[in-house]
Amino acid sequence: MRRLWLIFSQAVTVSVAVVFVVSTLKPQWIEALPWKQGGPVSLQVATAPPVARTASGAVAAAVGFSEAARLAAPTVVSIVTSKSAARHPQRNDPWFRYFFGDQDNNSPQSGVGSGVIVSGDGYVLTNNHVVEHMDDIEVMLIDGRKARAKVIGTDPESDLAVLKIDLDKLPTITFGDSDTLQVGDAVLAIGNPFGVGQTVTSGIVSALGRNQLGINTFENFIQTDAAINPGNSGGALVDANGHLMGINSAIYSRSGGNMGIGFAIPVSTARQVMESLIRDGQVTRGWIGVEPRDLTPEIAETFNLPVKEGVLITGVLHNGPAATGGVRPGDVVVQVAQAKVANTAQLLNAVAGLKPGAVAQLKVQRGAEILTVNVTVAQRPKMARAEQAQSE
């Protein structure tokens, strides 16, 4: 009996030693045993791969837009403007002061906007309304440098202006192709909203070709929901690669702040205007001297017209280019040169793109007939803002 007990105790001792060694050196063998299957469950967590970064260390565009912001942000500047208070010419006349009081307003006007450096020569593209009627214009770069700016040219009809600053080693924006934009594309708005400093906001292209908003004479806006606020005017709208797609120009707002509807001038338009202002100091556009109106289904039905799209001519300037070419009130213009026109905005843009002095063919619907008339294009005169959208 004593011998059996000794064998049993030795067997237990060896077994415990074996379990201890195995659990220490190969714990997975113990976990695999059937009697361990009811133990604690090991949670398998899917771990995201390391964030992809570019050679400069920025997060790739698939994760964020830091690379686009890094490329474009240094080219966007803040513009601070001011205008001296106007002084009445008879301010020193005692009788004038007696009857009318002190008419002097000693509080100067000031404003804040944004701009984009487009060349190493120091040309800056911005909105006309940012610098219009201002005496002093100062440009501030993101690196802290400041410079007084000279106005090279302005174009109120497209609300664009070109400035010039004298600084070395300027960063410049890369121009993109706004004609390739599609609704849903990601974009960034960069500017100086409310004068708080450079700010980058993101969104998408909400719509293309917005017009008839009553903002400018020539409208072909990119609509975006990227936050645009007062002070962003003249700033950059860029794509996910940091390429310039538009110049932020206006917002739709009932409160004065962002409501998710902002408008930018396409870079295709901005570049043409910029090059004309730098080259000639002004933008030369075509003009034929007509008063246009959109052709509505009601008008087409009233006059029994066979066309449903086009521009109704309600008036023709006496001895103007259109009148001389044979255009009459009541005609419906359906094509200018090679461009089909379905509304007033398209007619304005098509005629403006014609070269003054050139002869352009216009297709018009006159009653039941389609006629082709030849019009010698004139140069578009400068008009008061209230008249700009009423005559072409």
Q: Does 243 qualify as catalytic in the annotation?
A: no
**Is the separation of the CB atoms in 179 and 197 below 8 Å?**
no
One-letter amino acid for residue 320 of the chain:
G
Annotated catalytic residue within 114, 233, 249, 391: 233
In terms of Cβ atoms closer than 10 Å to its own Cβ (0-12, 13-18, 19+), residue 113 is: buried
Strands 199-210, 186-191: pairing is antiparallel
Which of 233, 118, 125, 222 shows the shortest CA–CA distance to 174? 118
- Cα separation values, 81 from 119, 140, 147, 150, 369, Å: 22, 11, 12, 12, 55
* Catalytic one of 129, 243, 249, 331: 129
| Per annotation, catalytic residue among 155, 159, 225, 331 | 159
Asked about 177 being catalytic, the answer comes back as: no
Catalytic residue check, 129: yes
Active site residues: 129, 159, 233
